[in-house]
Each structure stands twice: as C-alpha cells, then as structure tokens.
A and B are shown apart, each in its own frame.
Chain A
Amino acid sequence: MSELLAALTPGNLVACFVGVVLGTIVGVLPGLGPAGAMALVLPLTVKLGPTAGLIMLAGIYYGSMYGGSTTSILVNVPGEAASVVTTIDGYRLARKGRAGAALAVAALASFVAGTFSVVALQLAAPPVARIALAFGPAEYFAFALLGVALLATLSGGSPAKALATVVVGVILSTVGMDPLGGTVRFTFDVDGAQAGLSFIAVTAGLFGVAEVLATMAEPSSTTPPTRVRFRELYPSRAELRRSLPPMLRGTGLGFLIGLVPGPAATIAAFASYGVEKKVSRHRAELGTGAIEGVAGPEAANNAAAGGGMVPLLALGLPFTPSTAVLLSGMLLSGVTPGPFLLRDHPQVFWGVIGSFYVGNAMLLLLNLPLVGLFARVATIPQRYLMPAVLLLCAVAAYADNNNAFDVWVMVAAGILGYAMRGLGYDPAPLVLGLVLGPLLERSLLQALTIGRGDVRELWSSAPAAVMLAAAAVAFVSPAARTCLHLWTRGRRPSPAE
C-alpha cells in the first residue's frame, strides 16, 4: 500500500501532471502520436529517475487517448487513429449543439475505462508475472514469435508487408554488438554504431521526422473549433443513462483487446462501435449523432491502453510502439520490466500503477474545464509547430548517447518512415522488430545451447509448443491463402478460352 502511495509524492504528482497534459496535447494534435512524443521526452524522463520518469511517460501514453477525442468531436479531425471512430457520432453531436455533452461523456468514459483497466492491471500483472517466472528461453522465443505473428495478422493491412517490416526491424537490431558473444556486426567501422542503432533516434525519425515530411507533402487546413461553454458540458440524464452500457461494454472489450499485440486501441475502438451497432437499443441512431458512438469507442481505446501494460510489466514484452518506448525508458533508467520487476523494483511497479489512478482523475478534471483550450491547440499552424518537432527530434536523438551518429540515424529513419507511408507500409511493426530482435536472438540461441544443438528444445515444453503452433498457424494461413488463390487462378480457364 505504501508503495502505491508513492505516486502521491510531490515530485511524482508533478511528473504525472506534466505527462497527462503533454499526452492530452499530443492526443489533440493530429500527426505526432504518443510513441513519437514519448521518445522526444525520454532524455528528460531519464533525468527524473525511474519512478517519476515512467510516471511521466505513462501519463503521455494514456493522456493521448483522452486528448484524441477532443478534436474528433469539435473539429472532425481525429488526433489519434484510435479516435477516428469518435468523429462519426461525436462531430454530428457537436453539429446538433451537444458538443459539451459529447466531450463530457468522452471524458467520463475514458475515466471509467482507465480506472477499470488499472484495477484489472493491478490484479492481472502479478499472477502473469508469477507464471512467467517459469518461462525459459524457449517459451520467451515462442511468445515473442507469437506476438509478431499476431501483430502481422491483426494489424489490418497486408500480413506480408507487416511481417516484412518486423523482419527489417529485427535486421536493424542486429547492428552493433551481438547480445551473447559481444561480436560487433554490420557497423561498417562506424564508431557510433557499435552500441547499435539508437531506439530513440529510430522512433523519433519514423514518427516525428516522417510526420513533418508527410505534412509538407500534403499540407492540411484546420477547421475552427466549435466553441463550448462550461455550462454546456453537463450531459442530460437521458444521455448519461444511454452512455453507461456502451461504456461498460467498451471497457471490458478494450481491456481484452489491449492484451493482444497490434494497434489495440484502434482495433478496440472500432470493435466497440461494431458491438454497439449490433446490441445497442439505439443502434439505428448510430452514425447520426448518438451518444453511444462516443461512449463505447472512447472507453474501449482507454481500456486497451491499460491492457497493453500487462504484457509489458509482467513479461517485459512490448506489443505496441508506445509500450516499446516505455520499455526503452525503463531500461534507460536501469529497470528491467518482466517477471522480476515486482520483486526487484516494487516501488517502481506500484508507483506507476498508483499514478494511473491519480492521472485518470487529473485528466477528468483537466479535460472538462480546459476542453476549449485544448481544442485551440489543434489550430496552431503547422509552420510553427513542425520546426519545433524537428528540433526536439534532433535533441532527443542526440541526447540518447551524446552521439552525432544518432542524428544521422534519425534523419535516415525519418526518410524511411516517409517512404514507408507512401508505399503503404505501417512503421509500427519496424519499431517492434527493433525492440524484440535482441530478445528473439538471445532466447533462440540460449534455447539451442540448452538443447545442445537440438532444435526440438524450442518446442519441448507444452506452453512453448502451443505458442509456436499458434504462431505457425498465424504465419502460414495468409501465405496459404495467397498460394491457393494462385493455384485456383491457374486452373481457371482464361476469358479468351
């Protein structure tokens, strides 16, 4: 209990406040997502110490989920991909003069879901961590591989593209010293590359610099936000009554989806909207400005953010770019997440969990009265904002290792990220490949060594065998569909025949 209360120390409260405010602003601004913003402030959080630093990073993560809804409702511009669904009914409610009610319900739904997911995280993470204590290299290899497979299958785009992007990330992770023997690989005698490619530089480039380049290629105009007065923020009793069931359904659904690798918050929001279209009493109104279309998806994307923390804190495995940056922040602060986190750093674990309660309360208090102010942030011209993003990216990249080589890495990653967008590749799997690469290599080689060269060691235990089989199904099924399609097309007579 005393460790949980560590979140209430003045330093941690300030870190939490700064984190949730930054997160809300990032959520409000279209483009720069939470992962990029978290990477930009990593140097700052390292200086704050492990508990306060992680509280700030986590605040940005879940604060962005709150902020994303504001511009969706007021300006019809989703700040985050996870808030796209909210624009459907949220903006229509604003057009009907119910912007205040929609914003209040979005904030309440986020609060309810955020609080529920913290309780669930608090209950789920310790037992999962205890189970993970029995995991050896083979189980970790199988679990990481399953995560990659599910990510590729569930991300919505082409599985071949997503998998190829993960593998490119894994390949980039092999630059520098190998994790077991210390052999320096693929550095081309560049001194700065010996420690490997800086994760912060790659993330800042892929998300920050690439966003600036994409903005330049397709400049967008901003819509003036709908003006909301404080007294208009109260939803009616009927609106509150209608919001509660979708809020609860979205919370449960979002937390479960958050446990699965992939863009969980976005999937959760869409899934919640889909569920409401099936089961809501007012499903006919969805799409025309129904409060259920705000309450459900907003609860779901916030609960998914909490669910995504379970594999990170309990297993040390990040399955989203944001949790990958959190992992990086933990490692930089000398804290290794995973089954031993609770034993070795209980003050960090419970301090971060405690901060979630405080942060959710802060967000509710901030988002209601200051909603008009946050909406105005979205209208800051990009010609002022983007140079600042570039400079912060450069400082973040340099500050990781005090190395100019990392600035080059950031520039290259930015150009790569921009090219990937144009070619229809999502950069998120690359970040995960970069993070999971060393774990995959270490666990694969350790398992082979334990098995004295016998590859059957990889599936010698039941959990490893089940996870590998599931990964194989996830890998093979899309490829099999491609082959089957090619085969049937070959047998089908052509129109000329």
Chain B
Amino acid sequence: MSPRSARRDRWTAAALAVLALAYLGLGRHYPLDTLATPGPGVFPLVAGLALLVLATWQLLAAGRSASAEGAAGTTRGPAPRGGSSLARAPLAMSLVLALYASILPIVGFLPASVSLVFLSARLMGLPGWWRPAVLAVGLTLACRVLFGSWLGVPLP
C-alpha cells in the first residue's frame, strides 16, 4: 500500500468513525427499553457501535501500512491519472442528475428526461446538437411508451 492510499484509508476510516458517532447520536432519540422487550433504538446502537469498532480497526490497519512503507523508504505515491477535465466530468454529471431529480416532479417526465439525456450525451462527448437531441427525444419517448403506456407506471 502506498503512503497515498494509506492516507486515503485513514481519512476514510475517520469519516466512517464520524458517521458512526453521528448515527449513534441520532439513534439516542429512540428508546432502548429492556432486553426482554427491545425497543427501536437497540439495533441502531449495535450497528453504530459495530461501525465505530470497524472504523478504528481500519484506522489501525492503515497506520500500520503507512509506517511500514515509511520504514521501507517509500515517500511518494504515483501521480494521479487523468487531467482536471476528466475529474470535472463526473462532477458535472452529478450536478445534471441532481438537477433532474429537482425538476422531475415540477416539469414532469418528458421535459426532465429529454434534458437529462441531452445533457448527459453532451457530457459524454457526443458531438454537435442534433445527435444528442435526437437521442434524447428518441430514448425518452421509447421509455414513455414502454414504462408509461405499456407497463402502466404512473410517470410524473
């Protein structure tokens, strides 16, 4: 394990520990009752503690790997692959998806889905305007017919 991945694992383990603590904190709102009549808070308590233990274990394991690598003289990990534009593309797609989820109940299935397919096709690198537009309209109508008309799914 490179120091970079060990550092990444330590941060992930710390994030899991924070998640476990937050979950345990929220779980305190639900009663534990007794072991004979366990309440809705018992299982979240068990699951939260399990995650906390596992996060600690992972933290120890990541620390062990990092120091072993450090002793071996490894100081730098490999350079990250891909340029900044490649790193930005998934972020842009995530924003498009969030936009889709926001507008779906407001504008309905057809306009929202045409927008989603059009924008995602553009982000995936489909050149020009008419090809993404034809793809968007074609796919959306096919889905509308298949799921809405044929299968009776009440699309918004």
Q: What residues of chain A have their CB less than 8 Å away from a CB belonging to chain B?
A: 43-44, 47, 158, 160-161, 163-164, 167-168, 170-171, 174, 178, 180-181, 183, 185-186, 209, 212-219, 382-384, 386-388, 390-392, 394-395, 398-399, 402, 404, 407-408, 410-411, 414-415, 418, 423-425, 437, 440-441, 444-445, 448-449, 452-455, 479, 482-483, 485-486, 489, 494-495
The contact of B61 among A158, A382, A402, A408, by CB within 8 Å, is: A158
> How many angstroms from the CA of A489 to the CA of B140 in the assembled complex?
60
**CB atoms of B47 and A217 under 8 A apart:** no
Asked whether A183 and B58 contact (CB < 8 A) given A404-B156, A424-B5, the answer is no
The contact of B16 among A164, A213, A386, by CB within 8 Å, is: A164
Contacts of A449 in B (CB 8 A): 36-38
**CB atoms of A167 and B36 under 8 A apart:** no
**CB atoms of A394 and B51 under 8 A apart:** no
- Consensus secondary structure, chain A interface: helix
B86 interface residue (CB < 8 Å to A): yes
**CB atoms of A387 and B58 under 8 A apart:** no
**CB atoms of B120 and A390 under 8 A apart:** yes
> How many angstroms from the CA of A410 to the CA of B58 in the assembled complex?
28
Mark contacts of B48-64 with chain A using CB atoms, 8 A cut-off: 1 yes-contact digit, 0 otherwise.
10110011011011001
The contact of A383 among B100, B113, B124, by CB within 8 Å, is: B124
Asked whether A395 and B50 contact (CB < 8 A) given A43-B151, A402-B153, the answer is no
Asked whether A216 and B46 contact (CB < 8 A) given A388-B139, A407-B101, A411-B94, the answer is no
Contacts of B47 in A (CB 8 A): 167, 170-171, 174, 437
Contacts of A387 in B (CB 8 A): 116-117, 120-121, 124, 135-136, 139
**CB atoms of B126 and A383 under 8 A apart:** yes
> How many angstroms from the CA of A414 to the CA of B98 in the assembled complex?
11
Contacts of A407 in B (CB 8 A): 100-101, 104
**CB atoms of B104 and A404 under 8 A apart:** yes
Q: What residues of chain B have their CB less than 8 Å away from a CB belonging to chain A?
A: 5, 8-9, 12, 16, 19, 23, 26-27, 30, 34-40, 42-44, 46-48, 50-51, 54-55, 57-58, 60-61, 64, 67-68, 71, 81-82, 86-87, 89-90, 93-94, 97-98, 100-101, 104-105, 113, 116-117, 120-121, 123-126, 135-136, 139-140, 143, 146-147, 151-156
Contacts of B57 in A (CB 8 A): 160, 479, 482
Can you report 23 A-B residue pairs in the complex whose CB atoms are below 8 A from each other? A44-B146, A47-B151, A164-B55, A167-B50, A167-B51, A170-B50, A171-B23, A171-B51, A186-B26, A384-B121, A386-B124, A395-B153, A398-B155, A399-B153, A399-B155, A402-B153, A404-B101, A418-B90, A424-B9, A449-B37, A453-B34, A453-B36, A453-B37
The contact of A404 among B60, B105, B121, B143, by CB within 8 Å, is: B105
**CB atoms of A382 and B113 under 8 A apart:** no
**CB atoms of B105 and A181 under 8 A apart:** no
Contacts of B87 in A (CB 8 A): 217
> How many angstroms from the CA of A164 to the CA of B124 in the assembled complex?
33
Asked whether A391 and B37 contact (CB < 8 A) given A445-B42, A486-B64, the answer is no
- Consensus secondary structure, chain B interface: helix
**CB atoms of B125 and A219 under 8 A apart:** yes
**CB atoms of B8 and A423 under 8 A apart:** yes
Asked whether A43 and B139 contact (CB < 8 A) given A407-B101, A411-B94, the answer is no
Contacts of A494 in B (CB 8 A): 71
B61 to chain A, nearest CB (A): 5
**CB atoms of B61 and A160 under 8 A apart:** yes
**CB atoms of B58 and A158 under 8 A apart:** yes
> How many angstroms from the CA of A437 to the CA of B105 in the assembled complex?
30
A497 to chain B, nearest CB (A): 12
**CB atoms of B38 and A395 under 8 A apart:** no
**CB atoms of B97 and A216 under 8 A apart:** no
B136 to chain A, nearest CB (A): 7
**CB atoms of B154 and A408 under 8 A apart:** no
The contact of B121 among A209, A383, A489, by CB within 8 Å, is: A383
Contacts of A186 in B (CB 8 A): 26-27, 44
The contact of B35 among A394, A404, A455, by CB within 8 Å, is: A455
**12 other A-B residue contacts (CB within 8 Å) besides A164-B55, A398-B104, A414-B97:** A164-B58, A168-B16, A170-B50, A171-B19, A171-B48, A214-B90, A384-B121, A387-B116, A394-B113, A404-B105, A410-B101, A452-B36
> How many angstroms from the CA of A402 to the CA of B147 in the assembled complex?
12
Asked whether A168 and B90 contact (CB < 8 A) given A216-B123, A479-B57, the answer is no
A440 to chain B, nearest CB (A): 8
> How many angstroms from the CA of A170 to the CA of B54 in the assembled complex?
14
